[in-house]
Amino acid sequence: MSFRLKMNNAAMKAGSNTVLALDLPLDEPHLLLSRSVEVLEMVHPYICAVKINHQLVLPLGLFDGVQKIVSFAHDQGLPTIMDCKINDVGHTNRAIAECYYKAGFDAVIASPFVGWDEGLEPVFEIAEQMRRGVILLVYMSHKGAEEGYGQKIQDPKIGRIIPQYVKFAEKASLWNADGAVVGATYPEKIKEVHAILGDDVPIYSPGVGLQGGDIKRAVIAGARYLVVGRTIMLAQNPAEAAKSIRDVTKQCLKE
């Protein structure tokens, strides 16, 4: 089954478009594994997937603690995404992706900055071989994103100046990526990217909640999945927070 189909099935089953970013503070590293599983156990009925980044991989180990979390997520019917932001030369990129796929991840996030030839082409090749997904980083959610993703470039093909993220969105379409990341904190960018991608490449939007991203504005602009971390993870009742986000999103989709 393709990654896109896994995501669609999981979203339909849970009635949720929320991807949980399993971001935990590192002040108690010995509790990272147990706390991750505990939160997943509470919130899994209200989410459609799980995203993990280096905050867990570095202290827990990929084929140790993190693989256990991935397996637990799969047991709950949740696809898993590794937010590794692959951004190196081709043979290294392939090795990175292959490691994460072998650990059980269903998709990786990669940066289009490195280009296709001897860049991300090997990642897409191994993803196809292993029937996994590749999501491209088009515009991040933090305040400094404009310095890189928002910079202006000259597109040699059309001979005019365009924003970097527009070019990245075009690459996501050209390379048939399984998703594109655009911060929920920039709904106007989501709208622009959605105009390029349509419904062919779903938009994943991080930054809802503590970073200031608004659910309704992101969904109306074209976000397909909302990536939510600390708003759920640091809530007094994570299940209640996840359910609330799910319900608000469903209401926005109806409007």
Catalytic residue among 85, 171, 191, 216: 85
Which bin fits 198, alpha (ψ -120 to 50), beta or left (φ > 0)? left
Nearest alpha carbon to residue 3 among 133, 98, 100, 125: 133
DSSP at 213: B
SS3 of residue 198 by DSSP: coil
Q: DSSP readout, 146-194?
A: GGTTT-EEEETTTTEEEEHHHHHHHHHHHTT-SEEEE-TT-HHHHHHHH
Structure tokens at 82: 């590794």
Q: Which helix (H) or strand (E) holds 84?
A: strand 80-86
143 labelled catalytic: no
- The residue type of 158 is I
Residue 206 pairs in a beta bridge with 227
Backbone angles phi, psi at 204, to 5 degrees: -105, 125
Position of tokens 């924003």?
163
DSSP at 33: H
The residues annotated with a catalytic role in the active site are 85
